[in-house]
A and B are shown apart, each in its own frame.
Chain A
Amino acid sequence: MLRVFSKPERHSLYLRQTFNEIENLGVKSVGIVAVISLFMGGIMTLQVAYNMTNPLLPTTLIGLGNRDSLILEFSSTIMGLIMAGKIGSNITSEIGSMKVTEQIDSLEIMGVNSAGYLILPKIIAVVLMFPLLYILSVFFGIIGGMIVGPAVGAVTLPDYLNGIQFSFNPYYVTFSLIKCLVFGFLIASISAFFGYTVEGGAFDVGTASTRAVVNTNIMILVWDLILTQLLL
């Protein structure tokens, strides 16, 4: 870990690498985040509607329930688990392949701090991009609910819109953004660790990817519990 955060040999190259990673790991995840969030928001809206059997409860609560579920848990934790699969396995397999094909040795022979050059830009990119993906996820989730709820007759559009504006607590967003920073760091660092320490061949890279995703998922859930207890 010390080597990852040691002084870069050439700042401009590290910066260029960081922008590449922002594109590869962050920007290229926007599509999947949008699709998953649209469905997630739609399904959440239906679930809340079907569970509201008491006629005395106003239907505006459907929008509120969807919004708070997305803000507090779904767009941060569930998206974190999904990103651990997408981004995490990408990081492990990329670094792992470089390890088994001696590309990392090659960097070391040149005098490059391979851990810093390969891992630091990924950590910065994921930590920076994950909160943005979270905001996008909340947005698309709410849109998903707005499309599905009125379409199936579970809630009217005005009620849904009232619901998503009702009793909004901005701290929920702050809390989830803090979670996203932590999850982003966990996803990038754990995946990079498993990739960087892989030994063997293609089979071992595959095994390392699986182990990285499983371990990252567990750590995300553990830290979700800790942060919820500490911050909420």
Chain B
Amino acid sequence: MIEIRNIYKSFDQKEVIRNISKVFNQGQTNLIIGRSGSGKTVLLKSIVGLYEVDNGQILYDNRDFTSMSPKLRKHLRQEMGMVFQGGALFDSLTVEQNIRFPLDMFSLLSPVEKQKQVDFCLERVNISDANKLYPSEISGGMQKRVAIARSIVMNPKYLFCDEPNSGLDPETSMVIDELIHSITVDLQITTIINTHDMNSVMEIGDNILFISEGEMCWEGNRKEVLYADNHKLQEFVFANKQYQKIRDEKMEGK
């Protein structure tokens, strides 16, 4: 479980995140949603410590990340996995070497055990046949899968995904969503996903935080999101008229 309490973050006097508090549950896909520029990525990067928060607390299973020494933070980071918007795979390494990298750096497993773990992750994301290719030789969807495989190779307790569907077609997006959701449930990890993709929200939104202009506007789950009485959320959700239609049909059905 990850809990954030009264988070504030600003850049050059401009406040980007204001007073956000939320509990992200274990074994659930927790979504941070909002328009582009609403502060989602800044919030996620603040949670993982890539940005230092100005104020507030971040608790990983009640361990206060904000007041931790750099040494302890480094240790805690080995329990984290992150999938970046562009994949962030190392260009000079093959798919297999990318996935093996965290194991080579931190694990004390034997080479055979490492290979076994890499093969398991490759199989888990269905890219076993691409293991010898370089990131530039595979598609965007496959790169995301490799990034997911790399993020779970150390058996993390916390998984973070920044716009995992950006640049992907709807079908591949759905595959990636399902993959992240099944990994979250199977491994019982705490997953936080940044997205503005309403399909993802409706598919895997177990626990949703909606932010607008750096402020928390609404929280709930995918069953509630269509019926929320929140003007900003409605503007966001119903920007795609299809969801307004779905809601209207469901309400008429009721």
Interface residues of A (CB under 8 A from B): 9-10, 13, 97-98, 101-103, 105-106, 108-113
What 0/1 readout, one digit per residue, does chain B (81-108) give for beta carbons within 8 Å of chain A?
A: 1101110111100000000011011100
Instruction: Decide if B14 is an interface residue (CB 8 Å cutoff).
Output: no
Q: Which residue of B lies closest to A100 (CB)?
A: B86
B interface, CB within 8 angstroms of A: 45, 48, 50, 74-75, 77-78, 80-82, 84-86, 88-91, 101-102, 104-106, 154, 160
Given contacts A13-B104, A98-B90, A105-B84, list 10 more A-B pairs with CB under 8 A.
Answer: A10-B106, A102-B84, A102-B86, A102-B88, A105-B45, A106-B84, A109-B81, A110-B154, A111-B77, A112-B105
Q: Choose among A10, A103, A105, A108 the residue that contacts B90 (Cβ–Cβ < 8 A).
A: A103
Q: Contacts A101-B86, A103-B90, A106-B88 given: A111-B104 contact, CB under 8 Å?
A: no
Q: Is A102's CB under 8 angstroms from B105's CB?
A: no
- Selected contact of A109 from candidates B48, B90, B104, B105, CB within 8 Å: B48
Residues from chain A with Cβ under 8 Å of B102 in the complex: 110
Chain B minimum-CB-distance residue to A105 = B50
Q: Specify the chain B residue showing the minimal Cβ separation from A8.
A: B105
The reply to whether A13 and B82 contact each other, CB–CB distance below 8 Å, is: no
A108 touches B50 (CB 8 A): yes
A97 to B105, CA, bound (A): 22
Q: A101-B88, A102-B88, A103-B88 are in contact. Are A109 and B82 (CB under 8 A)?
A: yes
Nearest Cβ in chain A — how far from B84, in angstroms? 4
- Inter-subunit contact B105/A106 (CB<8 Å): no
Question: Which residue of the partner chain B has the closest CB to A97?
Answer: B91
Contacts of A102 in B (CB 8 A): 84-86, 88
Contact residues in B for A109 (Cβ distance below 8 Å): 48, 50, 77, 80-82, 160
Q: Is the CB of B88 within 8 A of A10?
A: no
Q: Which residue, A101, A111, A112, has most C-beta atoms of chain B within 10 A? A: A111
Find the residue from A98, A106, A113 having the highest chain B CB count within 10 A.
A106
Q: In the assembly, what is the distance between CA of A106 and CA of B150, in Å?
A: 10
CB nearest neighbor in B for A104: B88
* A13/B77 contact (C-beta < 8 A), A106-B82, A106-B88 known: no
With A9-B106, A10-B104, A101-B88 known to touch, is A111 a contact of B75 (CB < 8 Å)?
Answer: yes
| CB of A189, distance to nearest CB on chain B (Å) | 21
CB-CB under 8 A from A105, the residues of chain B are 45, 50, 82, 84, 88
In the A-B complex, the 10 residue pairs with the smallest Cβ-Cβ separation, listed nearest first, are A111-B77, A106-B88, A102-B88, A109-B82, A102-B84, A111-B78, A111-B74, A103-B88, A110-B102, A10-B105
C-alpha gap A182/B46 in the complex (Å): 39
A91 CA / B101 CA spacing, docked (Å): 21
CB distance from B153 to the nearest CB of A (A): 10
* A214 vs B80: C-alpha distance when bound (angstroms): 40
A101 to B135, CA, bound (A): 13
CA distance A203 to B82 in the complex (A): 27
Bound form: Cα–Cα A103–B101 in Å: 13
A204 vs B102: C-alpha distance in the bound complex, in angstroms?
Answer: 29
Separation of A101 and B88 alpha carbons in the complex (Å): 6
Contacts of A112 in B (CB 8 A): 105
List, in ascending order, chain A residues with CB within 8 A of B86's CB: 101-102
Contacts of B74 in A (CB 8 A): 111, 113
Chain B residues within an 8 Å CB radius of A103: 88-91
Q: Which residue of B lies closest to A9 (CB)?
A: B105
